[in-house]
């Protein structure tokens, strides 16, 4: 249930807005006039829109600069960390921006904190995809990884931690200097990367659903929208327990809206920290809950309303979840 508006107080800080962390899990929304926007019934289900095209990566890295990574397969990340060629790749692949991990630091430093001394193995599959990971972050459960496609010359990375200063938490940020986008959904990323991302999530204890972001070459931070359907199952497979999978879809929709609102309020700064809800946003939670609280499709109603508002916040055409598993391997177990 939303906290009373009086519970919130504005805290002045340069470029940032303070926020009460307890509200983060409820789902947040911008609305200029609440009363004028209250619907009389739940929004109808919509037909899925066309899938967005795969993201285009810029400036692929020549294969001869990546080939040495294969020789480290099965060895510990700490061994690869000693190779100067690996550090050169990090500088080439990680956007040059200030990032907030407990304090302001370069994103490169944050990733180094997670990888240095890591005993996790360097993983390689299909002679093509290499994942280097660590969970050595000295605080806030910091952990990260770098992922390489040796054939396409693509490098992506991720950094996870659990902020305690008022921003949406926990948080996972994907990054690459080869990206030039400012709007991105999960299905636009290479399927092989998404597969390995979910493998990394399972191996390191990162939540499957959380606010997600991406940082492209310009160094700014943008929401990375979940468009997985956690209720998806392959043909002839038993259906997923609806109470479980729909709660995950609800959590993903809420996480995306939190991330979109946070970035809108903080100007997409990669080192943004705290924020605050205006009274209209707090009131909107109540009107959404009233709208979707009755009727046979309360979870579907909440997901649709939340996702529609997320795209309004982003100023983009809505994109509904695609019929895909959260882990592409589930659609093709032989891979």
Condensed to tens digits (0 to 9), the pLDDT of residues 263-279 reads 988 999 999 987 777 77
3-state secondary structure of 265: helix
DSSP class per residue in 112-130: HHHHTT--SBPEEETTTEE
Token representation of residue 276: 């605050």
Work out the pLDDT band at 316, boundaries 50, 70, 90. Answer: confident
When the pLDDT of each residue in the chain is averaged and rounded to a whole number, the result is 83
Confidence band, pLDDT 50/70/90 cuts, at residue 328? low
User: Exposed, middle or buried, 32 (CB in 10 Å: 0-12/13-18/19+)?
Assistant: exposed
Q: For residue range 120-134, list pLDDT tens digits in order.
A: 999 999 999 999 999
User: Which segment of 169-178, 198-207, 245-254, 276-285 scores lowest on mean pLDDT?
Assistant: 276-285
Mean pLDDT of 5-11: 28
pLDDT tens track for 190-231: 999 999 999 999 999 999 999 999 999 999 999 999 999 898
Find, among 36, 323, 45, 9, the residue nearest to 187 by Cα.
Answer: 323
Structure-model confidence comparison of residues 23 and 80, the more confident one: 80
The answer to whether the Cα torsion of 297, 301, 307, 311 is positive or negative is: positive
Report yes or no: 29 and 264 within 8 Å, Cβ to Cβ: no
**DSSP label of 150:** T
Beta bridge partner(s), residue 222: 214
Q: Which of 298, 267, 326 is nearest to 16 (CA)?
A: 267
pLDDT band at 10 (very low <50, low <70, confident <90, very high): very low
CA dist., res. 69 & res. 147, Å (int): 11
Average pLDDT over residues 79-99: 96
The model carries a pTM of 0.83
Residue 145: is its pLDDT beyond 90?
Answer: yes
8 Å CB contact between 230 and 240: yes
- Condensed to tens digits (0 to 9), the pLDDT of residues 232-247 reads 888 888 888 888 999 9
Mean pLDDT calculated for residue range 290-304: 88
Partnered with residue 171 across adjacent β-strands are 161
Question: Which distant-in-sequence residues (6+ apart) come within 8 Å of 16 by Cβ?
Answer: 266, 272, 273, 274, 275
Angle made by CA atoms 269, 274, 280, in degrees to the nearest 5: 100
* Contact yes or no for 130/85 (Cβ under 8 A): no
């Amino acid at each position: 249930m939303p906290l009373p508006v009086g519970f919130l107080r504005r805290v002045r800080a340069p470029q940032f807005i303070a926020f009460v962390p307890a509200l983060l899990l409820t789902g947040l929304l911008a609305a200029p006039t609440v009363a004028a926007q209250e619907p009389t019934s739940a929004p109808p289900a919509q037909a899925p829109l066309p899938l967005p095209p795969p993201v285009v990566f810029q400036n692929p890295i020549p294969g001869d600069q990546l080939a040495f990574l294969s020789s480290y397969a099965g060895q510990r990340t700490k061994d690869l960390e000693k190779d100067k060629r690996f550090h050169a790749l990090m500088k080439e692949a990680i956007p040059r921006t200030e990032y907030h991990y407990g304090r302001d630091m370069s994103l490169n430093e944050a990733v180094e904190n997670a990888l240095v001394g890591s005993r996790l193995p360097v993983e390689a599959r299909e002679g093509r995809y290499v994942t280097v990971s660590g969970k050595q972050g000295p605080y806030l459960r910091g952990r990260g990884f770098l992922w390489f496609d040796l054939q396409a010359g693509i490098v992506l990375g991720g950094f996870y931690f659990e902020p305690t200063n008022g921003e949406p938490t926990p948080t996972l940020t994907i990054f690459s200097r080869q990206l030039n986008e400012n709007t991105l959904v999960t299905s636009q990323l290479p399927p092989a990367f998404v597969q390995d991302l979910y493998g990394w999530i399972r191996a390191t204890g990162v939540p499957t659903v959380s606010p997600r972001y991406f940082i492209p070459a310009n160094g700014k931070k943008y929401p990375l929208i979940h468009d997985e359907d956690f209720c998806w199952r392959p043909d002839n497979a038993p259906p997923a327990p609806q109470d479980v999978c729909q709660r995950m879809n609800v959590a993903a929709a809420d996480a995306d809206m939190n991330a979109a609102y946070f970035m809108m309020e903080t100007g997409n700064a990669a080192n943004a920290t705290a924020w605050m809800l205006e009274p209209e946003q707090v009131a909107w939670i109540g009107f959404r809950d009233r709208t979707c609280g009755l009727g046979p499709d309360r979870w579907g109603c909440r997901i649709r309303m939340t996702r529609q508002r997320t795209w309004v916040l982003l100023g983009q055409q809505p994109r509904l979840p695609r019929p895909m598993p959260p882990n592409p391997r589930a659609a093709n177990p032989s891979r």
